[in-house]
Amino acid sequence: MHEKTVEAGVLEPCLEMKGLDFWYGDTQALKGIDLVVPRHRITALIGPSGCGKSTVLRCINRMNELIEGTRHEGRIVLDGRDIFDDDVDPVALRRHIGMVFQKPNPFPKSIYDNIAYGVRLSRKVGKTEMDRVVQDALEKAHLWDEVKDRLKSPATGLSGGQQQRLCIARALAVKPRVLLMDEPCSALDPIATAKIEDLLLELRDEVTIIIVTHSMQQAARVSDYTAFFYLGELIEHGPTRRIFESPNEQLTERYITGRFG
Amino acid sequence: MTTPGPFAPDAALRRRQTKEKLAQGLLFTASSMSVLILAVLLGRLLWDGLPAIDWGFLTAKYSPLALLTGTTGIGDAIVASAVILVFTMLFAVPLGVAGAIYLNEYAPKGRLTRMIETTIANLAGVPSVVYGLLGLAIFVRFLQVGANMLAAALTLGVLILPIIIVSSQEALRAVPNQLRDASFGLGATKWQTVRHHVLPYALPGILTGNILALSRAAGETAPLLVIGLPVYTTMVGVGPLDPGTPLQTRIFFLASDPRATVQELAAGAVVVLLAVTLLLNLAAIVLRHRLSKRIKW
Amino acid sequence: MTRTKTSEGTAPVDRGVPLFGRKSIDVGARGADALMRGVFFLGGVFVLFVAAAIVWVLLDNSVGFFSFVSPVEFFFHDVWHAVEGANAQYGIWPLVSGTLLVAAGAALIGLPLGLATAIYLAEYASPRIRGFLKPVIEVLAGIPSIVFGFFALAVISPLVQGATAPGTFLGGLFGNAGVFSAANAMIVVGIMVLPIVTSISEDALRSVPQHLREASLALGATRWETVRNVVLPSAVSGVAASFVLAVSRAIGETMAVTMAAGTQAKLTANPVDAIQTMTAFIAQKTSGDTPHQGPGFLSLFAVGAALFAFTFIMNVLAQRFVRRYREVET
């Protein structure tokens, strides 16, 4: 049913990849990826290690360009604009696309300054406004109540799960349209993981989320759509329930049922 | 499409990107300064010094008469440098490598070991001229060696000892522990293990550190002045108890003479010294490079 | 293991050679092992003798010096005139000021250039540029100080004299420099400490985890913003260590300063003046024919002790910084 609505265009596409190829030096990491990511939904990218799912993520905010010797072909269209256009500045682009990494990576600054850092980059913000922005972001990330009394203490003193929620808050504070998450729970315990998954479901209304995950259960729990990658190719893509219950491709089925890692 | 897209830089970002360009340009310029300085330094020294260098310059010994006509040579200085360096290494290498082996292979983790390691770190930071004072008081006067090449070698040896120990320790630390375990597992003693397995494996690394220390000793001047090694002498002996003026002190002597002909000789001597130290450095760099390429297991 | 069992059982045991007692290894190997342990131990503790000898030599002779010259004169008078005879004066301040003047000037040149080079190497340079720049820095670090001294006389001194010649702006501001000036020494020592700053700072910058850079870039920061706000603050103790070590090296540098700055102990802050540093005094005094006794000779050790104290404090400080950034790293 979900699939129908997408096809009918009821769900507005947020991001579209068209024939995306990507190379690290001579090795081709992505082959002709065509993928539509619907707005205000959670799309999970799954597949075995080295299948290219993290590369896809890093193409979207053009972080891959920082590595020497990479190149791409094809297009990624975000809200009607090809992000590889000449007039697109990757720095400007990254303000619209937040990213949360595998390992929580708060800056060695205070909790407050971690959130404020990204906001301050683009404009001067007064103290009262910044206080509000920080509180707002921390509340959205379900962290406010835990840290409101120690905003000035170092972020590195937080637990792993708190740190990761701080990283989410840090990304949300600059009001991105898309949030990229690269296995955000792989370094966390189950309770911390559950908190973050709850958070994602709430954030869906605000931001389009693309999450790379190694855990099939996580994909099934949180995502609306799932894309299965194998050896740099997009094998199958559709509503999560359909992918998990009746995959069209044999490869997808074998992966989902755990017959290869 | 003529309207700027949502991901095009706005005025604020353009300012930030200008800053970025500026920073990058400044950092690049600052980095090029080192290249420029090195080019000017080498270029100027070669320009001044190469014309002075010929076979006669390299072999003739110092004489005050020849200095007057600007034709004196550095042959005796090269010999003195060689004599001093040989005795420096004879003294410092066994002691330094032994110290490194003790610290890395034998020393229990305790107060004595910590004290030795802190001491080495601090000795490495003591100005070379202070080592000169040590040499003057201990070797020249207390042990009555006299202001000769042996005293110079001992002083330089003490000076490069921390360098040898630290670099040899690094080489020993790079030896995989499985190697030691395998040897002990066969019932070898510690010394057998060190001699047959640890040392051969660490040898290239130890060699690299020793070459760098040698190059340091070859150019070190201040301690030699301080112990009272003559800056010129017409006596040419190759025994360690003879006085001798190695290249570096000869340069100091020649450079202090403002006459243009002597300045040219000084430049020539500088080029020779520079060639020796840079070749030693190069050898160490090549050796280290080879080392890093060696297959690891 | 199997033999152990038999020895417990009924099989006959050769009691002459215990199986795993100390004697089971042949005596030669055991003797060699003990001997070598001793040899290596001596190598290890030798540095303690060296350190003790340095401290003893400096202290003992300084005590001798103070039997001729009052500490009040040494520490509080501002004229240094270490000649043989009655009109000698031993106030260390001119030497200290000369040393600090050169070190400050060298720091002004060497620290920013060295740090900028380190940032460029660690954060911007492509592998090809890096492969070229790193050896240049290493070569620069390997050049003996006497060569830099000659370079200062042959190249830097004429430049400084030209820049402060009568009629020039700098000449009007500071006065005219002669062949020897503090400025010569500042510039050449600045060049000499640059590689120290670069190599230690670059190490510190490189040890900042890559994921912190990525976090900043992904938030839409430029590279420079990332360097300034995230990378540099994280590497600050390593950078500080490099600065302190560089200044310590500048204070201890001898030959280049002896050849470039002159031999006049003078209390001044003017870079065009000829001055004398603590190290240059020691080198100059000993290279003359000084009798090995009396206050003139002993003053070498008093100055040496002061020099040792300066550099020792700075090195301890640098080790503190290094330890701190090693801790952050792990």
pLDDT of residue C286: 84
Task: Flag if B8 and A89 touch (Cβ within 8 Å).
Answer: yes
Total count of domains within chain B: 2
What residue ranges of chain A have pLDDT lower than 50? 1-9
**Rounded distance between C-alpha atoms, residue C212 and residue C189, angstroms:** 35
Give the start-to-end residue ranges of the domains of chain C.
Answer: 80-329
**Domain A2-256 is found in CATH 3.40.50.300:** yes
- Check: CB of residue B245 under 8 Å from CB of residue B231: yes
**Strands C89-90 and C80-81, bridge-based pairing:** antiparallel
What type of residue is C329?
E
Return the number of other C-beta atoms located less than 10 Å from residue C243's C-beta. Answer: 23
User: Mean pLDDT across the stretch B177-206?
Assistant: 90
Give the start-to-end residue ranges of the domains of chain A.
Answer: 2-256
* DSSP type of residue A155: G
- Check: CB of residue A45 under 8 Å from CB of residue A229: yes
> In terms of DSSP H, where are the helices of chain C?
2-8, 27-66, 71-76, 93-119, 127-142, 145-151, 157-163, 169-174, 182-206, 210-218, 223-226, 232-234, 236-252, 255-261, 278-287, 294-329
Q: pLDDT at residue C13 above 60?
A: no
If asked whether residues B45 and B111 sit together in one domain, one would say no
Q: Which chain B residues contact residue A121 at CB under 8 A?
A: 16
Joined tokens for residue C291: 């009798």
- Check: CB of residue C166 under 8 Å from CB of residue C86: no
Q: pLDDT at residue C21 above 70?
A: no
**Rounded distance between C-alpha atoms, residue C119 and residue B17, angstroms:** 18
Task: Tell me which chain A residue has its CA closest to the CA of residue C236.
Answer: A108
**Rounded distance between C-alpha atoms, residue C44 and residue B169, angstroms:** 11
Report the b/e string of C39-58 with b at 16+ CB within 10 A.
bbbebbbbbeebbeebeebb
State the burial class of residue B219 (Cβ atoms within 10 Å of its Cβ: 0-12, 13-18, 19+). buried
Joined tokens for residue C26: 């042949």
pLDDT of residue A2: 43
Least Cα distance to C111 among C247, C237, C255 occurs for C247
If asked whether residues B31 and B72 sit together in one domain, one would say no
State the burial class of residue B158 (Cβ atoms within 10 Å of its Cβ: 0-12, 13-18, 19+). buried
Q: What are the CA-CA distances from residue B262 to residues A177, B49, B225, B253, C323 (Å)?
A: 75, 11, 20, 10, 49
Give the full edge-to-edge strand order of the sheet including A225-230.
A97-100, A178-182, A208-212, A42-46, A225-230, A233-239
**Positive/negative CA dihedral, C250, C233, B29, C131:** positive
Report the b/e string of A89-121 with b at 16+ CB within 10 A.
bbbbbbbbbbbbbbbbbbbbbbbbbbbbbbbbb
SS3 C30: helix
Joined tokens for residue B161: 């000892």
**Domain assignment of residue B47, given as a range:** 12-52
Q: Which chain B residues contact residue C149 at CB under 8 A?
A: 252, 255
Q: Which chain A residues contact residue B5 at CB under 8 A?
A: 81, 85, 87-88
Q: Facing residues of C155 across strands? A: none
- Check: CB of residue C226 under 8 Å from CB of residue B16: no
pLDDT of residue C23: 54
**Positive/negative CA dihedral, A249, A252, A256, A259:** positive
pLDDT digits (tens, 9 = 90+) for B27-57: 999 999 999 999 999 999 999 999 989 998 8
User: Mean pLDDT across the stretch C6-16?
Assistant: 46
If asked whether residues B17 and B122 sit together in one domain, one would say no
- Check: CB of residue B98 under 8 Å from CB of residue C42: yes
pLDDT of residue C87: 84
Q: What is the mean pLDDT of chain C?
A: 88
Q: How many CB pairs under 8 A join A and B?
A: 37
pLDDT of residue A4: 41
If asked whether residues B44 and B114 sit together in one domain, one would say no
Instruction: Give the lowest-confidence range in B175-179, C21-25, C164-168, C271-275.
Output: C21-25
**Rounded distance between C-alpha atoms, residue C330 and residue C313, angstroms:** 27
pLDDT of residue B4: 59
pLDDT digits (tens, 9 = 90+) for C162-202: 999 988 999 888 988 889 999 999 999 999 999 999 999 99
For the domain spanning C80-329, the CATH number is: 1.10.3720.10
**Rounded distance between C-alpha atoms, residue B102 and residue C45, angstroms:** 9
User: Mean pLDDT across the stretch C274-288?
Assistant: 90
pLDDT class for B210, splitting at 50, 70, 90? very high
What's the complex ipTM? 0.91
Task: Tell me which chain C residue has its CA closest to the CA of residue A62.
Answer: C218
Establish if B1 belongs to a structural domain: no
Task: Flag if A101 and C214 touch (Cβ within 8 Å).
Answer: yes
Task: Flag if A85 and B9 touch (Cβ within 8 Å).
Answer: no
If asked whether residues B150 and B91 sit together in one domain, one would say yes
Least Cα distance to A211 among A163, A242, A171, A155 occurs for A171
Establish if B269 belongs to a structural domain: yes
- Residues, chain C: 330
If asked whether residues B172 and B93 sit together in one domain, one would say yes
Least Cα distance to B159 among B35, B248, B289 occurs for B248
C-alpha atoms less than 13 angstroms from C-alpha of C214 in its C-beta half-sphere:
20
- Check: CB of residue B67 under 8 Å from CB of residue C169: no
Q: pLDDT at residue B290 above 80?
A: no
If asked whether residues B209 and B244 sit together in one domain, one would say yes
If asked whether residues B44 and B120 sit together in one domain, one would say no
If asked whether residues B102 and B181 sit together in one domain, one would say yes
Residue A94 contacts C where some CB pair is shorter than 8 Å: yes
CATH label of the domain that carries residue B69: 1.10.3720.10
Establish if B18 belongs to a structural domain: yes
pLDDT of residue B293: 64
Task: Flag if A121 and C126 touch (Cβ within 8 Å).
Answer: no
If asked whether residues B48 and B63 sit together in one domain, one would say no
Joined tokens for residue B288: 């280290």
Q: Facing residues of A100 across strands? A: A181
Nearest-by-Cβ selection for B6 from A81, A121, A122: A81
Q: Distance of alpha carbon B236 from its chain centroid, rounded?
A: 26
Task: Tell me which chain B residue has its CA closest to the CA of residue C256.
Answer: B222
If asked whether residues B23 and B134 sit together in one domain, one would say no
> In terms of DSSP H, where are the helices of chain A?
2-8, 53-60, 90-94, 111-122, 127-140, 144-147, 160-172, 190-203, 216-222, 240-245, 250-256
Least Cα distance to C192 among C132, C252, C281, C236 occurs for C252
pLDDT of residue B61: 86
- Check: CB of residue A206 under 8 Å from CB of residue A179: no
If asked whether residues B110 and B39 sit together in one domain, one would say no
Cα angle C97, C100, C106 (rounded to 5 degrees) comes to 140
Q: How far is A85 from chain B (nearest CA, A)?
A: 9
